Amino acid sequence: MAAPNIETVVSLSKRRGFVFPSSEIYGGLGSAWDYGPLGVELANNVKRAWWRWLVYERDDIEGVDSSIILNRLVWKYSEHEATFNDPLVDCRKCQGRFRADKLVEEFGAGEGADLASVACPKCGAHDWTEPRPFNMMLETRLGAVAEDDPASLAYLRPETAQGIFINFLNVQTTTRRKLPFGIAQVGKSFRNEVTPGNFILRTREFEQMEMEYFVRPDAEHFQLVDYWVEQYMGWYTGLGLARENLYLYEVPQEKLAHYSRRTVDIMYRYFPERPEAERQFEELMGIAYRTDFDLRQHSNKPEDAEGKRRNPDSTADLSYFDEAAKERFYPHVVEPASGVNRSLLAFMMDAYDERTTDKGEKRVVLKLHPELAPIKVAVLPLAKNKPEIVSMARAVKAELQPSMRTVYDDTGGIGKLYARQDEIGTPFCVTVDHQSLEDEAVTVRDRDTWGQERVKASELGEYLKKRLGIRC
């Protein structure tokens, strides 16, 4: 099974220390969340798995880590200043403020529904203002300058992608890369979302894992989108998401972002409780064909029909010189853009399972892929008042720790300790008992089958590495 709804994961997260509502002691901050001891491990594991898969295991991708605050001109020429808007509407009766497109999507009566037919979710009225554009970039001021000094205005980046485009030549020349190749970046992005919500699905501060894949512009690269869709479907299902909980959505032309010629969204079933199948899914990530839009926009060379430079502010030409063909051009780009938080939520929802013990007690088991599990092994002494057992258990923990995240726990009876580890997704528990002192073996208990196996203490590390699929 998967989690029946997001709420189930919210309460598990709070109960066990994955994710907490942020600033709770001051009444919270709408839709901001803090990651606890297990959440930070899980998020780090998601990012590490992604980075390993793209940057280490492929031969055609480099990584970067650019600034969150970039020169404001980046956002002018990327056209985010002009176009990164959501349509905002107010309810005249209760002054509630919403995103018009989301209202129609969520509460409209099927295909072709319009805003007039939607009742205000807060007060039930049908009295909307005209939709107006609302720019989603979060503003800040740099330096000790007057608040209204326009020169001090800067934005927190709304996507990591631009930090890649402006570094395209830096990366290409320093690594001597030839096309095709990609540049990956993971990091925080910020959007002043009108209606954040649904736990960590839509927040104003979130993390992205983006990759820009640069290719020759000889042809339209619509099929490269399919290639990356397939790669990511493999990545997500390989790490545990069930195929039936994923769905591919070809974004219609009229809904494409300003830079995209084709986008396919991979959607996840975040809302299985909704009766209509089409409303159960929300975007997990998108794969967009951005053409040469961004590299051209940031270049000082491209000229319009009258021969006037379109970007008089840039000092560089981000074109690429193909040595073999002796040609200069702007590469085209296909961009798989995914979210750390949405991925983490999907992995948790899909891993959620319930099982009943012989005594009829319900247990939650989080069947996370071992690569993602926050803790790989829990070492549990069967008698915490027996110093030899405790010392052997501590020695086992110390030996495993350098190669896998291991914890030691003696704060309850064995049934309770197993239940606790099952609920947080620990793939293996290792128990040290009286017998261990004699035969120098321990019991390894499998989270998913609850099956137990006796393993020599001296072979434990290798045994667990194999079962966890740990790679260095």
Query: Between residues 41 and 159, which has the closer beta carbon with respect to ligand GAP?
Result: 159
Smallest gap, in angstroms, from Cβ of residue 255 to ligand GAP? 11
Query: Between residues 31 and 443, which has the closer beta carbon with respect to ligand GAP?
Result: 31
280-309: which residues touch ligand GAP (CB under 6 A)? 283-286
Interface pick for ligand GAP out of 99, 202, 221, 445 (rule CB under 6 A):
202
Gap between the Cα atoms of 71 and 178, Å rounded:
28
Interface pick for ligand GAP out of 291, 319, 338, 443 (rule CB under 6 A):
338
Residue 345: CA count within 13 A, CB half-sphere: 31
206 binds ligand GAP (CB under 6 A): yes
Query: Between residues 135 and 208, which has the closer beta carbon with respect to ligand GAP?
Result: 208
Residues in contact with ligand GAP, total (CB under 6 A)?
19
Contact 123, 94 (CB under 8 A): yes
Smallest gap, in angstroms, from Cβ of residue 290 to ligand GAP? 8
Smallest gap, in angstroms, from Cβ of residue 286 to ligand GAP? 4
Interface pick for ligand GAP out of 167, 172, 185, 208 (rule CB under 6 A):
208
Query: Between residues 23 and 391, which has the closer beta carbon with respect to ligand GAP?
Result: 23
Query: Between residues 250 and 322, which has the closer beta carbon with respect to ligand GAP?
Result: 250
80 binds ligand GAP (CB under 6 A): no
Gap between the Cα atoms of 196 and 59, Å rounded:
38
339 binds ligand GAP (CB under 6 A): yes
Query: Between residues 348 and 400, which has the closer beta carbon with respect to ligand GAP?
Result: 348
Interface pick for ligand GAP out of 193, 282, 292, 350 (rule CB under 6 A):
193
Smallest gap, in angstroms, from Cβ of residue 284 to ligand GAP? 6
212 binds ligand GAP (CB under 6 A): no
Contact 451, 461 (CB under 8 A): no
191 binds ligand GAP (CB under 6 A): yes
Q: Which of 177, 261, 277, 176 is nearest to 223 (CA)?
A: 261
Smallest gap, in angstroms, from Cβ of residue 69 to ligand GAP? 17
Smallest gap, in angstroms, from Cβ of residue 346 to ligand GAP? 10
Smallest gap, in angstroms, from Cβ of residue 260 to ligand GAP? 9
203 binds ligand GAP (CB under 6 A): yes
166 binds ligand GAP (CB under 6 A): no
Amino acid at 240: G
Single out the segment in contact with ligand GAP by CB under 6 A; choices: 14-22, 220-228, 272-280, 333-341.
333-341
Interface pick for ligand GAP out of 16, 99, 342, 397 (rule CB under 6 A):
342
Single out the segment in contact with ligand GAP by CB under 6 A; choices: 51-59, 66-74, 198-206, 399-407.
198-206
Q: Nearest-CB residue to ligand GAP? A: 339
Smallest gap, in angstroms, from Cβ of residue 292 to ligand GAP? 16
425-464: which residues touch ligand GAP (CB under 6 A)? none
Contact 129, 92 (CB under 8 A): yes
Interface pick for ligand GAP out of 3, 42, 161, 444 (rule CB under 6 A):
161
Helix axes 460-468, 387-400, angle to 10 degrees: 50
Query: Between residues 283 and 433, which has the closer beta carbon with respect to ligand GAP?
Result: 283
Interface pick for ligand GAP out of 41, 86, 210, 350 (rule CB under 6 A):
210
Residues that bind ligand GAP (CB under 6 A): 159, 161, 191, 193, 202-203, 206, 208, 210, 283-286, 335, 337-339, 341-342
